[in-house]
Amino acid sequence: MSLFDNSERPIGLASDHAGYKAKQFIIKILEEKGIPYRDFGAFSEESSDYPDFAHPLARAIENGECYPGVAICGTGIGISIALNKHQGVRAALCWNSQVAAYARAHNDANVLALPGRLLNEEEIYEILVIFLNTPFEGGRHTGRVDKIPCR
């Protein structure tokens, strides 16, 4: 499996304390592959609140500073909810590679949300690779994605 190489912008990363170990695993992968990233925290396993890291990542995605994003909390639910409060973010909670493929191909998801407490490193790697390498199909899905912003 290859990993997405996006030399234009760094991949944005965010987690809370429950997703910290999974984020560190992803950082190791990105560094080994020479893929740039920007880490918005958390920076330890000390208890923290996922919105504190989700919102800066979301703003960086909206502003075009990072693309795509990867966000991790215990279940992936809370961090994806916080991310999706931003108009320019389509965060998809993915628990397997098939969901990750559909999130990219059909929904043009720009942030991968992962349940850090529920996946092992092999699963995280597989989901990450699929998410980063699956293009948006466009076509009939474009009109649907275009209807998401409510402003």
Per-residue three-class SS string for 92-138: EECCCHHHHHHHHHHHCCCEEEEECCCCCHHHHHHHHHHHHHCCCCC
Choose among 45, 40, 18, 27: nearest CA to 119: 18
d(CA 146, CA 29): 33
Percent of the chain residues past pLDDT 70, beyond the cut: 94
What burial class does residue 31 get, using C-beta atoms within 10 Å of its C-beta: 0-12 exposed, 13-18 middle, 19+ buried? exposed
| Domain ranges within the chain, ordered by starting residue | 11-145
pLDDT tens for each residue of 97-121:
999 999 999 999 999 999 999 999 9
Question: Active site includes 141?
Answer: no
pLDDT tens for each residue of 5-52:
555 899 999 999 999 999 999 999 999 999 999 999 999 999 999 999
pLDDT tens for each residue of 123-144:
999 999 999 999 987 777 887 7
Handedness of CA 108, 26, 72, 42 (dihedral sign): negative
- The pLDDT score that the predictor gives to residue 151 is 57
pLDDT tens for each residue of 48-77:
999 999 999 999 999 999 999 999 999 999
**Are 58 and 33 spatial neighbours (Cβ–Cβ below 8 Å)?**
no
- The pLDDT score that the predictor gives to residue 1 is 44
Is residue 150 pLDDT above 70, yes or no? no
d(CA 30, CA 96): 20
Q: How far apart are the first and last CA of the chain?
A: 39
d(CA 17, CA 27): 15
Out of 55, 86, 106, 141, pick the active-site residue: 106
Quick one: 11-145 is in which CATH superfamily? Answer: Sugar-phosphate isomerase, RpiB/LacA/LacB (3.40.1400.10)
Q: If you search the block for the tokens 């944005």, which residue do you land on?
A: 12
The two three-digit tokens of residue 129, written as one number: 């690779």
pLDDT tens for each residue of 84-99:
999 999 999 999 999 9
